[in-house]
Amino acid sequence: MQALRCAGTLPSSKIPHVAVIGAGIAGLRCSDVLARSGVKVTLFEARNRIGGRVHQMESGGYLMDMGPNWIHGTSGNPIMHLANKTGLTILEPEEHQALFDTEGRRRSDSEAVWLSSKMWEMVVDAFKYSDEHSADIDPRVSLFEYFKSKLDADKELSGRRKQDLLHEAQMWGPFVGGSVEKQSLKFFFLEECIEGENVFVAGTYRDILKEIGRSATDESKVDLRLETEVVHFETTSDDSNDDGVKVTVTASSGDQSNFDEVVITCPLGWLKRHHTRAFTPALPPRLASAISNINYGRLEKLYVTFPSAFWLSPPDTEEDPKNLSSYPIFTHFHDPAYVPHARDEAWNQSVVSLAHLPAHCAHPTLLFYIYGPCGTHLVNSIKDLPSHSPEYNATLDSFASPFYSRLPNYSHANPACEPGSFLMTRWQADPFAGNGSYCNFQVGLERGDEDIEVMRDAGGMWKRGLWLAGEHTAPFIALGTTTGAWWSGEGVARRICTKWGISVPEDAAVEEANGNAVHKKELDKDKADAANLSALAI
């Protein structure tokens, strides 16, 4: 941003024409701020809909979020503001969980609470250590190795306790969409988050998306071009452009358009796969290396819907008609020895009972968070099968049944325990999603914080009209989240307006008090308190 100020602003007599590539949260927010500021905006989207990874589908008569389910931190979070504005129902889940060990045996509630609490203590300790010693930590050291070293040093723990805690540590995988054995300790501090609770979006992201997309779907404000895949960007130097055109955008159809500025909000996974051939001239080496260095997660979601929530006991009191106190909302399955899979791959599962949602949102569905090699295996098994086909259902049931069959009240002979519908994401098979979920930080990474900053600055390419936005360019406190995508899109829009000497109206902020605070959030590197650690991009 300092370089932008030093470069000065362009004459405001010309209204720039800006192309925004991708109608996900970052692209929608960027388009909205630009359009409200009087900028001419063309929004390209490869899909036949807006929202990107924020998307809903129906299964078993219920609407399911295929992308994010959570709002990560409630303090000063614009996504939380939108949830309140739209009257969206949210849930602040209890941390109590049920736990099944590697043999499929349910552990006592006291053991589950102790293991979970101990794991979170280790997470907070690792965060503080990473924050304070990042410069000195060997890039090859994983978060899992750090956990193991701490447990090995605790002489009061029995061998069984240590093994249980190592299995519990693997439950961090669904939080980041990757294996804890591969997560970088050096850059674990980048998993900081916004202050406040992490809340589950019980009513789905549908109304939030509708609100964010108002400008994009208003043809008087934004020229929205759906089903238009952009495949190439050619930038030309300022000196050779008397008419001010700087970037030529080429679609897969071969159609070309010229723009003054282009904002690329394509997911990091897309950039990783295409950056070597999608740009003329080639991206600056430091930007190219930053894109290559940051890892891309593999988180998937599986919804299994039953005729009724058999895992909840029959109603027995007026105060607790569903008897929800009899079974918690979260169930953790440690890496299952009873499910065939490669032994060097952890197939632990984190499952959420959607029957625990507020009454008008609740439905008898179990939501599995599946990540890493396990997610890859399952996506490869169904990627060519039609959704809800007999083969699709049988494949997913074969995977899920060893887990749900261990829940309370299960009986193979009871029709209530027979799933009626399955629905699973296939982000790893989705080229527009970058064949994955969101950014994370793995072992071997040497300058992860700098890499994020380089992508945020587009390697200086903004001087020639090329910008990057998306969750991978977000403020450190919001990497990998919808909030991060929102802030990144707004931040780039404001920087473009500054470059052209255009004022951004106050109503382009979610709240009047927001003003230009997004710039501070975008550039502020202060670390959040470890007690607020979340990384719940799930």
Domains within the chain, CATH numbers bracketed: 2-51+213-294+439-532 (3.50.50.60), 56-95+297-433 (3.90.660), 112-191 (no CATH)
**Residue count of the chain:** 538
Average pLDDT for 160-165: 95
Q: Is the pLDDT of residue 326 over 90?
A: no
State the pLDDT confidence band at 297, using cuts at 50, 70 and 90: very high
Q: Is the pLDDT of residue 537 over 90?
A: no
Q: Is the pLDDT of residue 524 over 80?
A: no
Q: CA 459, CA 466: separation in Å to the nearest integer?
A: 9
Res 244: pLDDT = 60
Lowest mean pLDDT among 54-58, 233-237, 240-244, 520-524: 520-524
Average pLDDT for 166-176: 94
* Mean of per-residue pLDDT scores for the chain: 90
Res 370: pLDDT = 98
Res 236: pLDDT = 86
Q: CA 404, CA 46: separation in Å to the nearest integer?
A: 37
**Alpha carbon separation from 196 to 77, 199, 362 (Å, rounded):** 9, 9, 24
State the pLDDT confidence band at 533, using cuts at 50, 70 and 90: very low
Average pLDDT for 364-386: 97
Q: Which two tokens stand for residue 532?
A: 């607020």
State the pLDDT confidence band at 14, using cuts at 50, 70 and 90: confident
**346-367 residue pLDDT tens:** 999 999 999 999 999 999 999 9
Per cent of the chain over pLDDT 90 is 85
Helices (H), 347-447: 372-382, 390-404
Res 239: pLDDT = 53
384 and 370 Cβ atoms separated by less than 8 Å: no
Res 527: pLDDT = 33
Residue among 18, 9, 33 nearest 505 (CA):
33
Q: CA 227, CA 481: separation in Å to the nearest integer?
A: 25
How would DSSP label each residue in 248-316? Answer: EEEETTS-EEEESEEEE---HHHHHHHTTTSEESPPPHHHHHHHHHSEE--EEEEEEE-SS-TTSPPP-
Res 192: pLDDT = 84
**248-261 residue pLDDT tens:** 999 999 999 999 99
State the pLDDT confidence band at 119, using cuts at 50, 70 and 90: very high
Whole-structure pTM value? 0.92
State the pLDDT confidence band at 238, using cuts at 50, 70 and 90: low
**88-102 residue pLDDT tens:** 999 998 878 999 999
235 and 247 Cβ atoms separated by less than 8 Å: yes
Q: Is the pLDDT of residue 247 over 70?
A: yes
Res 160: pLDDT = 93
Per cent of the chain over pLDDT 70 is 88
Residue among 395, 420, 468, 472 nearest 441 (CA):
472
State the pLDDT confidence band at 535, using cuts at 50, 70 and 90: very low
